[in-house]
Amino acid sequence: MIQDIELIHKCIEGDGKAQRELYNRYAAKLMPMAMRYAKSQADAEDILQDAFIKIFNSLESFRQEAQFLTWLKRIVVNTAINHNRKKLYQQPMLDIEKTPLYVEKDLVISHLHFTEIMAMMQKLPVGCRTVFNLFAIEGYGHKEIAEMMEITEGTSKSQYSRARALLKAMIEEASTVVKSNASM
């Protein structure tokens, strides 16, 4: 199997076979990340497609300072944010100063399958889903998220709080269904 660095050089030279191989090697690893930010499978495919266009156009700028997969993931996240940013302006957002905050107990989700959790995340409004992914999964702080999404830090916090509340409600509903099915 050809090494990444050699594959990158061939892609930069415009080798279509190398580009296909790069896509085939990494698309399956990057698709779950795109799915976390997307509302649907089709949206995730659009994000991934746009990301690979950016990847192929940016390969010359890869400096090997990070692992190649890490660099690819960063491009997918940025592409997803840009994809969702377009939709953010169509959604109402609340600022944290105007939203009451409350602390929730952590929920047990061990009875849920990954696909069920992913489906719940996809039901979240675009702003909530994006902030939740960036904060809870990617590990960014609210200040960084605010800069990336061009929103206030308070809005980032309120969107995260709203995402948690919505996910909690969905998980509780799923738990109720599981319990009622178990008692039958």
Q: Is 124 helix (H, G, I), strand (E, B) or coil?
A: coil
Q: Which CATH class is domain 96-182?
A: mainly alpha
What ranges make up the beta strands (E) of the chain?
A: none
How far apart CA 85 and CA 150 sit, in angstroms, is 9
How far apart CA 13 and CA 60 sit, in angstroms, is 10
What ranges make up the beta strands (E) of 30-117?
A: none
Q: Is the pLDDT confidence value at 102 over 50?
A: no
Q: Please name which of 5, 29, 28, 31 lies closest in space to residue 18, comparing C-alpha atoms.
A: 5
Q: Is the pLDDT confidence value at 61 over 70?
A: yes
> For the chain, how long is the longest CA-to-CA vector?
63
Better-scored residue on pLDDT, 166 or 101: 166
In the numeric block, the tokens 């953010």 are attached to 88
Q: Is the pLDDT confidence value at 176 over 90?
A: no
Better-scored residue on pLDDT, 39 or 26: 26
Domain map (residue ranges) of the chain = 4-88, 96-182
pLDDT at 179: 59
Q: Is the pLDDT confidence value at 103 over 60?
A: no
Answer whether 0.85 is exceeded by the pTM. no
Q: Is the pLDDT confidence value at 104 over 60?
A: no
Fold of 4-88: Rna Polymerase Sigma Factor; Chain: A (1.10.1740)
pLDDT tens per residue across span 129-157: 999 999 988 889 999 999 988 899 999 99
Instruction: Count other Cβ atoms within 10 Å, centred on residue 179.
Output: 10
List Cβ neighbours of 141 (8 Å cut-off, separation of 6 or more): 135
Q: Is 62 helix (H, G, I), strand (E, B) or coil?
A: coil
The per-residue pLDDT of the chain, averaged, comes to 83
